Amino acid sequence: MENSRALHDELSNIVGEVGVLPEAESASYAFDGCLPKVVVSPASVQEIQDVLQFAAKRDMSVIPAGAGTKLGIGNLPPKVDVVLATTRLNSIIEYEPADLTVTVEAGIRLTDLQKELAKHRQYLVLNPPYAERCTIGGIVATNASGSFRLRHGTARNQVLGLRVVHANGTVVKSGGKVVKNVAGYDLNKLYIGAFGTLGIITEVALKLSPIPTRQAAIASEFQDIQNAVNTGLSIVGSQTLPMFVNLFINSDPMRVETDGQGSNTTNTGKSTLVTGFGGDPETVVWQLVESQEIMEQNGAIGVTTIEGEMHQRLQETIQEFSADNGETDPQRVIAKVNLKRTDIAEFARHIADSSWGSDVQMMLLLGSGVLYLTISLIGETDFQYLTDVLMQLRQSAVEKRGNLIIETAPPELKQHIDVWGPVGDTLNLMKQVKAKFDANGLLNPRRFVASI
């Protein structure tokens, strides 16, 4: 084992003293109860290559990171040696407002990028959790997106090109800087959502959208989950083109107060359908009227239009639903379930009607077939019982040709369950790709699906 002081000194020779975080600051990159031996933040591609070479010679693991908000996603690590954070690579490289494209370094924070783009009435249409801290590289590496995916797609749909450093130091460029870039294989898709197992993203080219002149939402309550889902899907399938259509169960999105555990105050049995729109004022007025008519025709209770400051608070609540505020010690279990749209109501109703359903809060992204569920951990937890519950839910999702991924959980739970679940016939191909890109298992080892 490397002496921590000697390790700090050796890496300081590569990235400079400012590029090695003090031990006290390294705690912000701890995850799953593991404190990294060292956290480095290179300021150039060359420094990243040198750090990778340094770690490879010493058989040390390298965990790529941005701000560290998503480090907890994955199975328990066999070891955490070097966390390589891209936060010093935080510049806008090229911005062409007329082309609606921007190229940035991976460590730039989403909130900082949005502020610059807003000067030209443009924005990146992604609203993943941890809005104030997350970086573009982290968003791309985890394919984080948010509720806006209904209309604009996920991070996979916003990325035009990437620059990536492989484990052996090779720098690879994929895609380009223009929207219509269709030549050759779309290698971007390999790196997006690979959680840093194939390479370290250093540069991202993105397509942008104009900021809507007006944004508003409409919300209503329903007594029956199936009816609420059917209503939401009717709006999704209508000509209104909503930005998002979300259903909240046991959670009131209009309340921002928390219970001290980082979760919205539970409202047992309540189903709230929220639909958001953005565009020119006249179009938004029409969208709101049409959606309200659909809701009322289906028995909605108390249809409300939301704008201004309340709309901003609502969007923040939706965006942070799947975030954990426990920092390095998760206070919730957060799972993401992917299903066909037609199966999502039955799945949610099964949870709500179970003996433990009142302890579970859910947010359904109806147009995308995604269900987030959160379970607050208060007091002593029977992790074996919780494992059994999650395994039953996963089996139910798999039977419907879906899956269940545990995004946030304490290490005590991860000792009992694989957070990713089965991956099917693609596993052998995934292992071959990993072996080709990272033959020695240097990057984020054994934390991805099937211990890749």
pLDDT in tens, 87-133: 999 999 999 999 999 999 999 999 999 999 999 999 999 999 999 99
- 84: three-class secondary structure by DSSP: strand
Selection from 359, 404, 400, 356 nearest residue 377 by Cα: 359
Residue 309 buriedness (CB in 10 A; 0-12 / 13-18 / 19+): exposed
How far does CA 105 lie from the centroid of its chain? 19
- Does the structure show a pLDDT above 50 at 293? yes
Question: Where are the domain boundaries for CATH 3.40.462.10 in the chain?
Answer: 212-421
% residues pLDDT > 70 (the chain): 93
Selection from 75, 86, 77 nearest residue 37 by Cα: 77
**Is-contact 351 360, C-beta < 8 A?**
yes
User: What is the mean pLDDT of the segment spanning 277-284?
Assistant: 97
> Is residue 257 very low, low, confident or very high in pLDDT (cuts 50, 70, 90)?
very low
- Which DSSP category does 198 fall into? S
Amino acid identity at 413: L
Direct distance between the N- and C-terminal alpha carbons of the chain, in angstroms, rounded to an integer? 24
Please state, in angstroms and rounded to a whole number, the distance separating the CA atoms of residues 63 and 83. Answer: 5
- Does the structure show a pLDDT above 50 at 265? no
Please state, in angstroms and rounded to a whole number, the distance separating the CA atoms of residues 386 and 377. Answer: 10
Please state, in angstroms and rounded to a whole number, the distance separating the CA atoms of residues 277 and 231. Answer: 16
Fold that domain 212-421 belongs to in CATH: Vanillyl-alcohol Oxidase; Chain A, domain 3 (3.40.462)
pLDDT at 54: 97
Question: Where are the domain boundaries for CATH 3.30.465.10 in the chain?
Answer: 92-210
- Does the structure show a pLDDT above 50 at 75? yes
Architecture of domain 92-210: 2-Layer Sandwich (3.30)
**Is-contact 369 400, C-beta < 8 A?**
no
Please state, in angstroms and rounded to a whole number, the distance separating the CA atoms of residues 266 and 263. Answer: 8
- Alpha carbon of 204 to those of 58, 111, 118, 164: distances in Å? 30, 16, 19, 9
Q: What is the rounded average pLDDT for all residues in the chain? A: 92
User: What is the mean pLDDT of the segment spanning 146-162?
Assistant: 94
Question: Where are the domain boundaries for CATH 3.30.43.10 in the chain?
Answer: 4-87+440-451
Amino acid identity at 130: Y
Please state, in angstroms and rounded to a whole number, the distance separating the CA atoms of residues 431 and 451. Answer: 10
Please state, in angstroms and rounded to a whole number, the distance separating the CA atoms of residues 391 and 26. Answer: 34
**Is-contact 449 431, C-beta < 8 A?**
no
- 395: three-class secondary structure by DSSP: helix
User: What is the mean pLDDT of the segment spanning 12-32?
Assistant: 93
Residue 281 buriedness (CB in 10 A; 0-12 / 13-18 / 19+): exposed
**Is-contact 106 86, C-beta < 8 A?**
yes
Residue 99 is encoded by which pair of tokens? 């082309």
- Which DSSP category does 4 fall into? H
Amino acid identity at 283: T
pLDDT per position as a tens digit, 326-336: 655 678 999 99
pLDDT at 183: 58
- Binning the chain into helix, strand and coil, the percentages to the nearest 5 are 35, 25, 40
Against a cut of 0.85, is the pTM above it? yes
How far does CA 330 lie from the centroid of its chain? 16
- Measured from the Cβ of residue 154, the count of other Cβ atoms closer than 10 Å reads 19
Q: Which CATH class is domain 4-87+440-451?
A: alpha beta
- Which DSSP category does 407 fall into? E
Please state, in angstroms and rounded to a whole number, the distance separating the CA atoms of residues 53 and 57. Answer: 6
pLDDT per position as a tens digit, 376-404: 888 788 999 999 999 999 999 999 999 99
